[in-house]
Structure formats: C-alpha cells, structure tokens
Amino acid sequence: MKKILIAALALVLGFGAMAQDKMLSSKQLMTRGLYPNHPYRGVQFVGNTSKVAYISNDTLFVEGKCLLTLDKLNEAVVAKGEEKLRYLGGLKMESEKQVTLAVNGKMMRYDVAKKSLDLVCDGAMNVAEGSSNRYAYNDDNILVIMDDGRDIVCGDKNEKGVVYGQSVHRNEFGINGGIFWSPKGNKIAFYRMDQSMVADYPLVRTSNKGIAESDPFKYPMAGEKSHEVTLEIIDLNTSSHIYLNTRKDNSVHEREMYLTNVAWSPDEQSIYIAKINREQNHMWFERYNAETGKLDKVLFEEQNNRYVEPCDAMVFLPNDAGKFLWFSMRDGYKHLYLYDTDGNMLRQITHGEYEVEGIIGFDAKGENLYVYANKDNLAGRAAYRVNMKTLEMTRLTSAEGTHTVQVSKDGKSIIDIYSSVNVPARCQVLDAKGNVKKTLYDSPNPLAEYAMPGIKLGTIKAADGKTDLYYRLITPPNMEPSKKYPTLVYVYGGPHSQLVTDSWLAGGNLYFTFLAQQGYVVFTLDNRGTDNRGFEFESCTHRQLGTIEMADQMEGVKFLQSLPYVDKDRMGVEGWSFGGFMTITMKLAHPEIFKVGCAGGPVINWKWYEIMYGERYMDMPQENPEGYANNCLLDKAKDLQGRLLVIHGAEDNTVVWQHSIEFNQACIKAGKLVDYYFYPHHEHNVLGYDRIHLFEKMFDYYETFLK
C-alpha cells in the first residue's frame, strides 16, 4: 500500500503541456460542460444478463445496437395521451423486451415489440419488488398503499405532527426513506413518526406579493424533547395491521429509541431492527415476528463509551436465508461480519486498517461477495471480490481513483465508472477477474483549453504527531516561485466527510480552480474527525467538537507557512455548515494567522443543533456542559479581529438562522464589526443561479480584504 500511496500522493498534475490561457469567469462556475462529460447515461446491465445498455444522444443502445429512440418513444407517449418527453432518461432495463420509465410523473412500461406504453402507476411510487401491482406513495403526512386497485390510507391529514411512511430521525443512521416492502411484496412495513411533542420552530417565508407567511417546522434541539417513532406492518393478503412491540414500557427512554436499519427476512416472517438508545451508546439488534409484532430475540448488542452508529441494514446471503452480513466498527474499522439468524457470530469476513465502504452484491452462486473499500488507497475507493469460504480479497478495479461499479446478476461482467486526479471520467466493462473487456467512454479533460492550476495530494502529521492527514493543495497556473500568493484554507472537518479524494480535481471544484487562476493558493485538509479512516480517527473529537479539528487544521497552516510561495500575512479561511463553525472557530482563536474569514450557514452553539447529530458527538448539554461551553462561539465574539463575513440562508432548516443572528448580536454587544449577508428564499445551501452570486460575493470579499 505504501508504494501505491507514495506514487499517488506525490502526484502534481502536469497540465502545462496541454494547458491554454483561457480563464474561467464566475458565470461559468456552474457550467456543466466544464465538468467531465459522461456521454453515455444510464449505463446498466439488462435484466439478469451481462448485456450492457446505455443512452447516447437520446437513443437507447444495448450492446451497441439501437433499441429505442426518443422519437419512437414519444409516438407511444402521445398515443397514450401524454405530453412528449424532452429527453430520454430514467430507464430501468427489465429485459430487451421491456423498459420501465417515468412519463410526466407516472410510471410506465414500454413494450419494445409492440411499441406501446402501459401505465404501471400514477405518481412517484415506492414499488413492491416482488409484485407487479402493489405500490405506495406519500401524500403530505399520510401514506397511501395501492393494492391492485384497492387504496389503503394510513394516517390522517388533519392529525398534525404525525407522519407516516417518511424518513425519521432527521435522516441519520443511513435512513433515507420510511417504506419497507417485504421481498415478495406481500407485506409492507413503514415508519410512524409522532412529532406532536416536539417544539415548533418558526420559519418565515417572504415574498413580494404581500404579508410574509409563517411556516413552522418540527426541530428537536439537543437536550430537548425528541420525536417518537414506531414501526407498523400491513399484510396485504390478510389485511392485518400490527405495530411492532419495540418498547419494554411506556417510559420516555423507550419512546425515544431510534429504530434503524430495517430489514425483512427472505421468508417475510420476520423483520429486523437495530434499536439504539437516545444516548447512542448502546445498540440492540432485534428480530420481531411479522405476524404478531412481538420481539422474538435480541440477536446481539453493541456498546461504546462514545457512540455506536449502524448505518447499513443486514444483508442475507443469497443462497442461505439463515445467514447474514452485518457492518460493525467493533475492531476499530468498518468491516463485515457473518452471523446466523440465532445471533451467533460465525466469522469476521474482512480485516485490516482500512474501511469497507459498502456492499455491491454477490455473484450468481453466492460464492463471492463484491464490496467497495479503501484498502490500497485511503484517498480513493476500489471494488473488491471476497471469497466467502477462503476470505481471499481480490482487487477488481486496478486503476487508481474513486470507482462506482455494477456487477451483472450472473457475475460475469462489471461496469466500472471512475475518475482520479488525472482521469476526468472513464467507463469500462470488466470481466469477472477485473480485466478490461472494452471501454465505453474516456472523457477528455473539459478544462484543456484553460489555464490549469497545479493540484497536489499529500500528507502531513496531525497534532498528535503520528497520524497521517491527507491534504489537497491547489496553486496558481504558471506560478512564479519567487512570488508570494494569498492563501485560502477551505475547511469542513466534520463527521462523515472526506473532501480530499483521488478523483477529478482531487475532490475540488471549479470555484477552487477559478480562485487559483485569480492568483490564490487553495488548501484543504481532512482533519481527525472526518470519515473513512477508522473509529478512533473519527470519534476522538467526541464531546469536544472543534477542538482537535482546529489543532489539526493549524498543523496544516504550519505546513502552508513553510512553503516559500505562501504569503503568511495574507491567509484566509472559508467553510460552510460544520465548515462555517470551523471557520469562525479558527478565525477567532487565531486572528494573528487569518486576515479574513468567510463562514456560511455556521453552527454557533451546539445546543441549537438537532438531537440526533448533536447528541451523538457532544452528548446532551446537561451531560456535557463544559464541552458545549468550550465550543460555543457566542462568548468568543469578543476575540474577533480583522474581517469576517458570515452568510446564511434565510429559510435554513438544518442550521437554523438563529445561530448566525445571535452571533451577530454577540458581535454587536462586544463592539466588534462583523460583515453579514443572507440569501432570501434559500435553505441550508444557496442553489440555482443564485449560487453564482454567492461565488461572486465571496470572491469580491477576498479581492477587497485579502488580496
């Protein structure tokens, strides 16, 4: 691994030979054409075969042969009484004979031979995989289940504060939905979230049409009352409706448990849940009877003095319903463990000081498992095959970079789409051993005509003197070694983040390229507390968010100050969300270093952040008053020196506007001049065309006060 890393990390992009003199403008920073082109869209295997389908120029190809054009599809669309589609996309290849797609918000199935469309269902549906006539969808706070023409409504639109079939727990623990169909489509499980006891947080929506409107939403702040979640099951064959008995009693402690990683048994008789206490330091993996709702068994438990955070549901072996895979960080890294359904741990499947980042699937016989891991390149992601008997782990994607793959159902072929620091985008078809069968596309450098900055990946030691931290260093094109340049530290630094990656532009973007072209050095460091480096690396910040992160970031600053072309007197820091918190933290603590700061959507006081995220990393305010006080920025406003621009979306429902408003007030009380800007009608990020305005606002600030 060392040999590979040394080669990758020492790499400085040599664009000089092909670079031209064109410069980016701020108006181009969201131009799709300046990001790597993926000329083939919707690349996928056809049904259970190894045949590859893709869309190019609004034409669907299978193995290079035209199967369907947009014009031909629109003939069927019009015949169905629908408006023509503007482009071909969002297709699922069930076979070479049938294609499923969305048509004006409806799910339809196209018959290739008949050249006709059949309506599958209205609206954006959650479809039962094992059934062709059962669907479910959310309508405001209710859940509607369609069962072969029969509609089952769960909930009442007038029941305020109660939500059915939607994501819960603020989308933590890997939760991204609230509907769980059983494998054969006979049963459906779904979340019921009671938020009626959670305080309404005021949100004001303005317009130029008249009086502003109040639009309050439920926002459970750290230490306050949390919402309460249950899981319900409907058997569509018998019409029975049950609740899972996930609570030992009716205490608040039991009602506030997190119900996560929901999974069905292959026979639909059981449902599994990872149940976590509100303190998030104890997890019970439980099996429930899907007929009665009663707890069958606690299969195993996991505890940690800091926190436990399961984010992946169990995966049953394809040919053995009595065994399943489970992700755990119990040995310090995210690895896979094999269990039987009695809760016996049979063996650890993967081992080592790296992380398995996800399961891709199995081969047809279930003999081999395909996974993502950063085993050979901690800044990248590769696909591996793991033999379930020998546990031999074989790398399939040999090229360095960050890979996304699909494995055909028969296990004979792999679709590999990836980029790296020096590969914009490449799509290849591999055989089962990882050998390249053919290249579908190899995108050219979209910035070849532009003056390109230098981009380097490297490592420095953390503040503990022993841990490697990865950095990205972007330097101006045609940099003059004797000249000193203003330098911007771009920071995030929070959990579940990795900004420095072996991918195109090293995980950076056109904004950083633009800044470099304008004469700025741009530096990013993934400090301890970020992702994909093991549990100790990420969790060492527990109960003191901002402290270790800043210590590591300042090691990055020391490294920058050692570079002859970095102007020590013209250094700035910028970040958004957790990065906004870090920006202000660093600016206030080190005014002698940072002349300018720019913080977007910053957390100011962790007491005002949501329960699920905040209490995992900081515990409750009642339990950790010192940690909350040490990392609250209100009392530190008095230390502000130099220029600080704070930006916030006026309708932010993630880091509520209260944070930066109160920081502004603290600056006023302390007699400190802070620069403040907000974006009307935007939530936690500034999106759409207004994002160009955001880039211009920040750049103008640096030109005025840093450069």
Give catalytic residues, as residue numbers.
Answer: 577, 652, 684
Nearest CA among 415, 303, 407, 292 for reference residue 359: 407
CA distance 63 to 46: 10
Contact call for residues 33 and 446 (beta carbons, < 8 A): yes
Please give the structure tokens belonging to residue 112: 């290739």
Please report, for residues 285, 321, 358, 409, the alpha-carbon distance to residue 48 in angstroms, rounded to integers and kept in the order given: 33, 21, 22, 5
Instruction: Name residue 399's beta-bridge partners.
Output: none
CA 311 to each of CA 173, 258, 331: distance values in angstroms, whole numbers, following the listed order: 4, 12, 16
Supply the DSSP symbol for 111: E
Q: What are phi and psi of 546, to 5 degrees?
A: 105, -25
DSSP code per residue over 637-673: GGG--SEEEEEEETT-TTTTTHHHHHHHHHHHHTT--
Rg (CA), the chain: 27
465 CB contacts (<8 Å, ≥6 apart)? none
- The closest of 550, 541, 626, 628 to 588, measured between CA atoms, is 550
For residues 195-233, b (16+ Cβ closer than 10 Å) or e, as one string?
bebbeebebeeeeeeeeeeeeeebbbbbbbebbbbbbbb
For β-strands 116-121 and 106-111, DSSP reports them as antiparallel
Bridge partners for 68 per DSSP = 60
Task: Please say whether the beta carbons of 553 and 586 come within 8 A.
Answer: yes
Q: What is the 8-class DSSP label of residue 354?
A: S
